[in-house]
Amino acid sequence: MAKDLKIYLDDKPGAIAVIGETLGNAGVNIDGICGFARDIKSGEDRELVTHTIHILVQDAIKARAALQTIGVKVVEERDVVIPTVPDRPGEIGRVCRRLANAGINVDFFYTITNTRFVLGVDDISRALSLL
């Protein structure tokens, strides 16, 4: 089963390139990736900018080990739901409405190849049974 790995990176040129190179050199394919920069308030009210990155991989153990060699810590590893949907308007809404009607919350999501998307949810087993 694919795993979503959450990591934090410094906001500087080349940070994402290093992740791609490191995983590639370790033979880990990135099936999906998304990220965004965000400000974090520190104790002295200074703002630090960091990137929050989600990476979808098949071999989380190998990916984790490769990232560790460059000092990048995986802060969260999660099983995710990856529905395949037709490429037409409203499909993400249809899937997410079905989850919402069952009381399942989506914590994060991002699209990947072949009209698929990743859903991090608060009840993976129920979500899998619904979809």
Say what percent of the chain tops pLDDT 90.
Answer: 64
Report the chain's mean pLDDT, rounded to a whole number: 90
Q: pLDDT for 34-87, tens place per residue?
A: 988 776 665 555 555 678 999 999 999 999 999 999 999 999 999 999 998 898
Structure-block tokens of residue 124: 């993976």
Structure-block tokens of residue 62: 């190998």
At 130, is the pLDDT very low, low, confident or very high (cuts 50, 70, 90)?
confident
Q: Kindly report the three-state secondary structure assignment for every residue of the chain.
A: CCEEEEEEEECCCCHHHHHHHHHHHCCCCCCEEEEEEEEEECCCCCEEEEEEEEEEECCHHHHHHHHHHCCCCEEEEEECECCECCCCCCHHHHHHHHHHHCCCCEEEEEEECCCEEEEEECCHHHHHHHC
Give the global pTM. Answer: 0.85
